[in-house]
Structures are given as C-alpha cells and as structure tokens.
Amino acid sequence: MRLDETLSDEARRMLAICIVCDYCSGFCEMFRAAGRRPQLLDGDITYLAHLCHDCGNCLEACQYAPPHVFEIDPPKNLADVRSQLWPKIWSWLTLLFVPLAPLMTFLLVPSDILFARHLGPGAFYVVLPWSVLSIGAGIALMSSLAALGFGIFRFWRSSGGGNPRGAIMTALADSLTLRNLEGGGIACDHGGMRRWAHHGLVTGFGFCFGSTAVATVYHHSIGLQAPYPMTSLPVVLGSIGGSLMMFGCGGLWWSRLRRDRRRQAQTAGGYMLLALLMLVSVSGFALLIWRETMMMGMLLAIHFGAVLSLFLFISTGKLAHGAYRAAALLRAAMERRHG
Amino acid sequence: MRPPPSKAEVLVVGGGMAGLCAAISAQKAGATVRILEASPRHMRGGNLRHARNIRIPHDGISSYSPGIYPVEEFARELTEVSRGDGDAALIDMLASRAADLGEWLADQGVVFQTKHIPFSRRTAFFLGGGKAATNALYARIEALGIAVSYETPWDIDTLCELPSAAVVLCCGGDQADARQRFINRGTPFNVGAPMEGLIRAGAAVAGVSGAVHLVAVDARSPRHDGGIVTRIDGMQFGMMVDAQGRRFADETAIVGSRRYSIWGQTIAALPVPSATLVLDAGGMAAMPRLAFEPIRAANLGEMAALIEVDFAALSCSARQSGRVRKAPFFAYPVVSGLTFSCHGLRVDTRARVKMGDGSVSKNLFAAGAIMAPAVLHIGYLSGTALTISAVFGRIAGEEAARHALG
C-alpha cells in the first residue's frame, strides 16, 4: 500500500512537531514510538497511525490543537492515514452483499419453498443448500483472510521486518486489554465506555465464532444438522455472543457519535462496521425467533448476506483495523524489548 | 470592552496558573470569586498552556519526582539566580510554601507524569503538559461554581471604580507587548497593560523594564504562541552565520541546558539580530529532530542565495568551522524568541502590591509573572515561574478573601 502523498506529508509535518514537543509521551505508545522513529518514513507513519487507539487525550491536551496555526490533531490525522487501507468505496461495495443475498434468494428460490414452513434437521438447507452457504461463506472468508494476510505482511516489512518472538505475549496483553485506551492516567474521552463496549463486541464475536465451530463439528462428525434446539451448545453460544455484540455495537456507536459531534469529525468506516455487526447479531436473533415460521427463508438469506459482507470486511473494511492494530502493538512491544 | 461583571467579592484578573490557584483558594476561604480571562476559551491558561514541568521542593520521597530536593536547596538556588536582587522574604516564603504544592495541585485534579520522562529531582511533569493541567484546573473551577468571563481583558483605568472588595492581578508580564521586537513563544494575551497602568499610578517596580529571557528559535515561528517546539538546537553539528554569512561564536563551546538561552542572547546582540544554522550532510544526520523542515541546497552557492548571504563569506565560514563540507547542505533560519519578560510589580509576603512610596495596598494583590521579577529579578530558573504563580496565587487568593470578608 502506498500512502497518499498529501496525507503522508501532513502526517510527517504533524508528527515532527509531536516528536519535538513530546508532552504526550505519558499518554500512549504512539508518542513514545514516534520518538523512536524521528525519520518518519512512510512505513513509520503507517505504523504510528495503527498504534493510535483514537482516545483523544492528546488532542484535549494539545497546546497546538486547531485553531492554533500549527493545527495539530493526531487522532484525526492518523485516522485519515488508517482509513486509506479501507477506502470508503470498497466498504460500500462490500455492503452490497447485504441486499444482494436476499434479493438473489427471492429471485432464484421458488416462492412455494422460500415462504413455506420448514421444521426439523436440515430445515435451513431446503431453502439455501448447505453447499451454497458453506462455499459462499468459505470463499468470502478465505479470500478476505488471504488479502489481509498479504496486507499485514507488507505492513510488517515496511515498518522494519524482523522476528517478533519474545514480544508476542506482551502484544497480546496490550491488544486484549486495550491498555493504550487508559490514557496514561487521565481518563480519556469516553475511554471507559469504549473499552467495555469493545471488549463486549470482541468477546461476543468470539462466542459466535465458537458457536459456528461447534456447529461445524456437529454437522461433520456426528451428523447433527442445523437448526439446533434452543438449549443446544451452538444456540446458547450464539445467543450469548449476539447479545454481547449488540451491547458492544450500541456502546461504540454512542461514544463515536458523541465524540464526532465534539470533534466535528466524519468517520463513516466505523459506523459502517458497527451497523454491519449489529445487523449480523439482530438478523441472527430474528432467525432464531422466527425459524419455525414462513419468514425463515428470507431471514436466513438476510443473515447470510450480512455474514458474507462481514467476512469481506475483514480485508476491505474497518474490520481490518484489529489485525493492523495488533501488528503495530507487536512491533511496539518488540521495540521496547530491544530498546 | 465589556464592563467587568461586579457580583463577586474577589475579582481575579487573568486565568493562568496564578489566577486559577488564587480563585480556588479565595473560594475555599469563603469568598465569592469571578475570573476575568482575556483569551477565548481555547487559549485560556496563560503560559501554563505551554508549560511542561513545575519546580517543587520535597524533603522526603515524593510521588511526583525522584530523590529529594530540600526547601533550603531551592531557596539557595533562588538567591543565586536572582544574584541577590530578589526579595529575600519572598524567596523564603516561596521555597517553604512550595513544599506541599504537588499534593495541593493533585487535589485540584492535576495529574503528574511519573513514567517515560527524563530523571528530574527538582521538577514534576504534568501528564500531557500544561494544557492538560489547565483543563484540570478549569474543571475544578467549574465544579466549585466559580464564574469565568472569557475574552474579557481588564484595563487599569477601571481601577478607580473597583467592582469587588479585593482584586488579584494574575495577568502576566508584558512579553506580548507590541513593542517587544522578538518572537513571543508564549500567550499573546500578556500585553502588560494592567501592570504598566499600576506603575504609572505609583506602584513599585520589580526587575528591569525591557529585560527579557530569550532562546534561539526558528525564524519561521508564528509571532506569538509557538511554544516549546520553536526552539532550535544542534548548533554544534554545523555553523552559525550572521546576516553577512560570517560566524560569530564557537558552536561547540555552547553546550548544556543553558545553550538555548545563550544562543538567544547572542543572536539578539548581533547588529542584525538574526542568524542561520548551516549544516552539511553529516551534520544533518546528527541533528535532533526539529519542528520545521530545513532549507535544502545542492551546493554552498545555492545555499548562499537561498539564505541571502555573501557566497565568499559563507564558504570562508564553512572552511573555518571545518564542519560544513559535504553536500547536500541544510539550513535553519534562527532568531531570538521571548520566553518571558523580567519587569513587574513588587509585593509583600501576603502578595499585596507595594507602592513606590513604601506603602502597601490593602485590597490589590498580585501573583504570577506580573510579580515574578520581585523574586527572581532578571534571573531564570527552569520550572520556577509556575511555582511562583501557584504559591503566590494561593497566598493572594487567601489574603484577598480575608480582606473581602473583613
């Protein structure tokens, strides 16, 4: 990925002032890492951009924040650099699967099948064959993961390469606890809410992933086909996961809205991802509730479309931030180890 | 100009470190308080907004600074830098009352940084710098219900119709006065009008009119408010030339923490008070990161044209220095930048303004940069301006409240 020149020049100008000032060194790893990389090459800038957790403490504390003539706004500037990785147009195109899957289902599946009640094992697959579901989701997930892996590989190389062994546990802890959202001692802009909401969202996502994994085992190993009973492991895990995700999406949306209003910022990518995650959870619950009615077919198609989009969002949308942030934290932990 | 609002027993003029401490203390002592702040909200806080650390003595282990820094040592240093011209009673008062400053500021919500900072036995660092501390103190002011009027400068001509029982002047020195010929690194609102008005009205003078503390700054800095990042450093890696392209100092001899101010004074004393730091490829590689990008030139001839000096003089300087040889060449334009002025009012140990005839005002108090020259004269001790502001701000607030409440 090549950085847009205007963006990287602006980031370089800003970070030079941040490095010389250094007042924010206590807030987070981004400022300390910037001090370790005074050359500010393009690879350095991308790395620093992904280290920023967008807490906003530095902006609040900045003697040079707009309207000062130096116009120092690290959260916005670094978010602009990051969002180059998930251009809005790609996010919008990916989101097309959300209406496309139900539309295709409506057009291709005969309506006496689509709008009939289906009960018992294999009920879902009468409407959308297991092969369509698994191949569609599989292709989306695998291609997205491959693209993300390639991107992470390039990111790692451009930010200095090297073997991160020995720093992995630290980086894992930094990623999971979101330590850099603590603000270094001054509570940051809705930092508490954002942290808990994010934890909820990630944990919920994990539960849903676990639900899918268990269901896959059921399907292939013991020949148990979906839909599963309400008290079965896949349904319980999925319900807990979906609830946590809904709580997380709500919290993050709320804090993002308040923050954007205050900073007069536009962060479309974040809202798109939150909306998509919300749609996945809500459509999942709707499918669970109405799976024994004639609505099941269309609800399944809606849920399937949302999941397809979400898988693609791993590389084309803001969902990629998780991998890049983790890689940046790994890089920072490595630098701290080796000085 | 808006007339000053009148419904407070103590009126604090200026919302920087001194004013905020004065307002909090006066309110805690039972008085109603209003702050008049000349700046708009986003520039509030005076020079506290640009600060990083504050000098605080501590006889024992402190949670904010390592080691110990006894009150006596602080007092001795104050006497030294003021070269005996500082008021001994004020120095003693400052040193002893500064001892609990860290705890007091922390109680007001100021957060100190204890990790990822240079070792400093004498100073405590604000987490996030002075603007974070400013925000914390204003949040405290707001929580205490103290009214703040922004964009409300105060003129000394209204002194005769005093709106409050006591007035505390915390509106800084005159570093932003239009007559100052240097780039002002600090707030543009310290224009010095109340101070000058009082001096005209017969107040006793501290420090020396026109005396200022200077450091070397990038000539491309804004006229006001450029703060810490405008400083130029690394002269020892290249050569400093004047407006003619001639060297005027031994660059490698000026080192240590006083190098910034030595360069500031040296440049100010030049016939044309501006200079250029010229570096070659090797020198540039050794330079610390500076805020502005350097001027670049492929050869010395091009550089001479870019910085508008005589080529023969520049190449002669380059040969003489021995450090400017290998292309490409880099340059930073340098002038003197003003950190603070050393001209102000005299006060007694209760922060009451002293008059030239030896009398002391009963209801007019002063704290901060406006009276700092009474302590330091024309001397400089890093991090001490804030200590003076906080200590005398607290004293002035308490005394003003006591006077106002009878």
Q: What pLDDT was estimated at residue A307?
A: 96
Q: Are residues A171 and A240 in the same domain?
A: yes
Q: What pLDDT was estimated at residue B4?
A: 47
pLDDT band at B1 (very low <50, low <70, confident <90, very high): very low
Buried b (16+ CB within 10 A) or exposed e, A237-249: bbbbbbebbbbbb
Q: What pLDDT was estimated at residue A193?
A: 85
Domains contained in chain B, CATH given: 10-204+346-404 (3.50.50.60), 215-337 (3.90.700.10)
Q: Are B393 and B22 in contact (CB under 8 A)?
A: yes
Asked if A58 lies within 8 A of B128 by C-beta distance, the reply is yes
pLDDT band at B179 (very low <50, low <70, confident <90, very high): confident
Residues across chain A: 339
pLDDT band at A339 (very low <50, low <70, confident <90, very high): low
Q: Which whole number is the average pLDDT over B39-58?
A: 97
State whether residue A67 sits within 8 Å of chain B by CB: yes
Give the closest of A26, A65, A67 to B115, CB-based: A26
Which chain B residue has its CA at the smallest distance from A336's CA? B116
Asked if A61 lies within 8 A of B128 by C-beta distance, the reply is yes
Q: Which residues of B touch A61 (CB under 8 A)?
A: 128-129, 131-132, 135
State whether residue A65 sits within 8 Å of chain B by CB: yes
Last residue within a domain, chosen from A83, A112, A146: A83
> Is pLDDT above 90 for B73?
yes
Backbone angles phi, psi at B8, to 5 degrees: -125, 145
Our CA dihedral for B36, B41, B46, B50, rounded to 10 degrees, sits at 170
Q: Which two structure tokens, joined as six digits, stand for B68?
A: 């110990």
Asked if B291 lies within 8 A of A16 by C-beta distance, the reply is yes
Q: What pLDDT was estimated at residue A266?
A: 64
Q: Are residues A62 and A93 in the same domain?
A: no
HEC sequence for chain B: CCCCCCCCCEEEECCCHHHHHHHHHHHHCCCCEEEECCCCHHHCCHHHHHCCEEECCECCCCCCCCCCECHHHHHHHHHHHCCCCCCHHHHHHHHHHCCCHHHHHHHCCCCEECCCCCCCCCEEEECCCHHHHHHHHHHHHHHCCCEEECCCCCCHHHHHHCCCCEEEECCCCCCCCCCCCCEECCCCCCCCHHHHHHHHCCECEEEEEEEEEEEEEECCCCCECCHHHHECCCHHHCEEECCCCCECCCHHHCCCCCHHHHHHHHHHCCCCCEEEEEECHHHHHHCCCCCCCCEEECCHHHHHHHCCCCHHHHHHHHHHHCCCCCCCEEEEEEEEEEEEEEEEECECCCCEEEECCCCEEEEEEECCCCCHHHHHCCCCCCCHHHHHHHHHHHHHHHHHHHHHCC
Q: A72 lies in which domain range?
A: 5-83
pLDDT band at B243 (very low <50, low <70, confident <90, very high): very high
Q: What pLDDT was estimated at residue A171?
A: 95
Give the closest of B130, B225, B288 to A68, CB-based: B225
Q: What pLDDT was estimated at residue B116?
A: 92
Give the closest of A16, A26, A68 to B127, CB-based: A26
Asked if A21 lies within 8 A of B227 by C-beta distance, the reply is yes
Our CA dihedral for B370, B374, B377, B378, rounded to 10 degrees, sits at 0
Q: Are residues A21 and A110 in the same domain?
A: no
pLDDT band at B229 (very low <50, low <70, confident <90, very high): very high
Q: Are residues A22 and A130 in the same domain?
A: no
Express each pLDDT in B13-33 by its tens digit: 999 999 999 999 999 999 999
> Is pLDDT above 90 for A192?
no
Q: Are residues A104 and A241 in the same domain?
A: yes
Give the DSSP letter of residue A232.
S
- Cβ count near B213 (within 10 Å): 21
Last residue within a domain, chosen from A57, A83, A109: A83
CATH of the domain at A216: 1.20.950
- Chain A, chain B: beta-carbon pairs less than 8 Å apart: 85
Least confident of A166-175, A301-310, B154-163: B154-163
Express each pLDDT in A109-165 by its tens digit: 999 999 999 999 999 999 999 999 999 999 999 999 999 999 999 999 999 999 999
Q: Are residues A17 and A96 in the same domain?
A: no
Cis peptide bond N-terminal to B57, omega within 30: no
Q: Are residues A62 and A142 in the same domain?
A: no
In 3-state terms, what secondary structure has residue A262?
A: helix
Q: Are residues A52 and A92 in the same domain?
A: no
What gap in Å lies between CA B387 and CA B396, rounded to an integer? 14
Last residue within a domain, chosen from A59, A83, A107: A83
Q: Which whole number is the average pLDDT over B258-282?
A: 97
Task: Measure A70 CA to nearest chain B CA, in Å.
Answer: 8
Q: Which whole number is the average pLDDT over B139-145?
A: 97
Q: What DSSP string describes A94-134?
A: HHTHHHHHHHHHHHHS-HHHHTS---STTHHHHHS-HHHHH
Cβ neighbours of residue B131 closer than 8 Å, sequence gap 6 or more: A60, A61, A62, A63, B45, B48, B49, B50
Give the closest of B111, B115, B289 to A20, CB-based: B289
Q: What pLDDT was estimated at residue A40?
A: 95
Q: Are residues A233 and A279 in the same domain?
A: yes
What gap in Å lies between CA A114 and CA A300, rounded to an integer? 10
Q: Which whole number is the average pLDDT over A210-218?
A: 94
> Is pLDDT above 50 for A250?
yes
Q: What pLDDT was estimated at residue B101?
A: 97
Which chain B residue has its CA at the smallest distance from A25's CA? B116
Q: Which residues of B touch A16 (CB under 8 A)?
A: 289-293
Q: Are residues A69 and A136 in the same domain?
A: no
Q: Are B387 and B56 in contact (CB under 8 A)?
A: yes
Angle between helices A88-95 and A268-289 (to 10 degrees): 20
Q: Which whole number is the average pLDDT over A286-303?
A: 96
pLDDT band at B207 (very low <50, low <70, confident <90, very high): very high
Asked if B290 lies within 8 A of A20 by C-beta distance, the reply is yes
Asked if A20 lies within 8 A of B228 by C-beta distance, the reply is yes
> Is pLDDT above 60 for A173?
yes
pLDDT band at B7 (very low <50, low <70, confident <90, very high): confident
| Mean pLDDT over the full length of chain A | 93
State whether residue A11 sits within 8 Å of chain B by CB: no
Express each pLDDT in B87-101 by its tens digit: 999 999 999 999 999
Asked if A25 lies within 8 A of B113 by C-beta distance, the reply is yes
Give the closest of A19, A62, A63 to B289, CB-based: A19
Asked if A184 lies within 8 A of B117 by C-beta distance, the reply is no
State whether residue B293 sits within 8 Å of chain A by CB: yes
Q: Are residues A75 and A103 in the same domain?
A: no
Q: What pLDDT was estimated at residue B365?
A: 97
Express each pLDDT in A36-56 by its tens digit: 999 999 999 999 999 999 888
Q: Which whole number is the average pLDDT over B159-183?
A: 86
State whether residue B229 sits within 8 Å of chain A by CB: yes
pLDDT band at A190 (very low <50, low <70, confident <90, very high): low
The domain tally of chain A equals: 2
> Is pLDDT above 60 for A1?
no
The type of residue at B276 is T
Give the closest of A20, A23, A69 to B291, CB-based: A20
Asked if B289 lies within 8 A of A38 by C-beta distance, the reply is yes
CA distances from A285 to A126, A281, B276 (A): 20, 6, 69
- Contacts of residues A334-338 at CB distance under 8 Å and 24 or more positions apart, as own/partner, are A334/A162, A334/A164, A334/A166, A334/A167, A334/A171, A335/A33, A335/A36, A336/A167, A336/A170, A337/A166, A337/A167, A337/A170
Strand partners, B347: B353
> Is pLDDT above 60 for B160?
no
Q: What pLDDT was estimated at residue B2?
A: 46
Q: Are residues A132 and A199 in the same domain?
A: yes
pLDDT band at B77 (very low <50, low <70, confident <90, very high): very high
State whether residue B162 sits within 8 Å of chain A by CB: no
Q: Which residue has the higher pLDDT, B231 or A256?
A: B231
Percentage of chain B beyond pLDDT 70 is 97
Least confident of A121-130, B4-13, B228-237, B311-320: B4-13
Give the H or E element holding residue A236.
helix A233-263
Give the closest of B50, B231, B288 to A63, CB-based: B50
| Mean pLDDT over the full length of chain B | 95
